[in-house]
Amino acid sequence: MAGGLKIGIFDSGLGGLTVLRELLNVSQGVEYYYLGDTARVPYGIRSKRTVIKYSLQCAQFLNKFEIDLLIVACNTASAHALETIKKNFPHLRVEGVILPAVLEVANLKPSRLGIIGTPSTIGSGIYKKLIGRFLPNSKILQKATPLLVPLVEEGLNETPLAEEVLKHYLSEWKNQIDLLVLGCTHYPLLKKTIKKLFPRWEIVNSARPLANVLKPLLDSDKDKPNRVSLFFTDRSAFLESFLTNIGIKEEIEGLEILNWEE
């Protein structure tokens, strides 16, 4: 695509910033507009109807910036709202985070794998269904892990508390799987702790595969830096430390807390 590429990204909170980080690693001269719906995080415990409603509101906000590409950087929204967003914004290219992760898993061909995500994402069955199409003979386990998003949002991802919660959810899989799918964009920040507890497992998240899929588009202007504008629907006490932890503060041009009205 020619110069001046504008990309909108939304997530239920801070987790989609892991997607933004991966995109920044492989792009130049792109304008990014990120919306974190921190007033209503997490989406993963909401009904499908509510997730669609919130997702359309986020997409409408980002559309005001005349974006060329919209990234649904939330697994729950990707599971429940992606097709509705595409129908409502036919002029936009819309990408979710689930299919790229599924394709990476299919390429690795594990015979035993586990999937973790929010209750809504796991309840949709989308990961298990899609991976099963590519790997019909693989053993596929899945589990909702609702305590993990709050841990990450509060910056507790590398603490003894995080270790105990992960043990609670995952210890029974220790000898049952060889690969773990992180079905939430908050979860990459738990990767270090997961590897510490379960070093033998291969780990796939949805952020890096999506960046790899989009990489051919992202050299928008090699002579210009990326530009990042961040918007949040409520102030998070952990935002500054989160931005520091994922290493994108230097590329942020603006950060605004919105007066969000449903």
Burial grade of 130 (CB within 10 A; 0-12, 13-18, 19 or more):
middle
Compute the distance between CA of residue 58 and CA of residue 34 in angstroms, rounded to an integer: 10
HSE-CB at 137 with a 13 A cutoff on CA atoms is 2
Could you confirm whether 58 is annotated as catalytic? no
- Options 184, 190, 194, 218, the catalytic residue: 184
Compute the distance between CA of residue 184 and CA of residue 115 in angstroms, rounded to an integer: 10
For residue 176, which phi and psi values (nearest 5 degrees)?
Answer: -105, -20
Largest CA distance in the chain: 51
Rg (CA), the chain: 17
DSSP-assigned beta bridge partners for residue 239: none
The pair of structure tokens assigned to 161 is: 């508390």
- Options 41, 59, 74, 122, the catalytic residue: 74
Alpha helices in the chain (DSSP H): 17-25, 48-63, 75-80, 82-88, 98-108, 119-124, 126-134, 148-153, 160-170, 191-197, 207-214, 239-246
What residues act catalytically? 74, 184
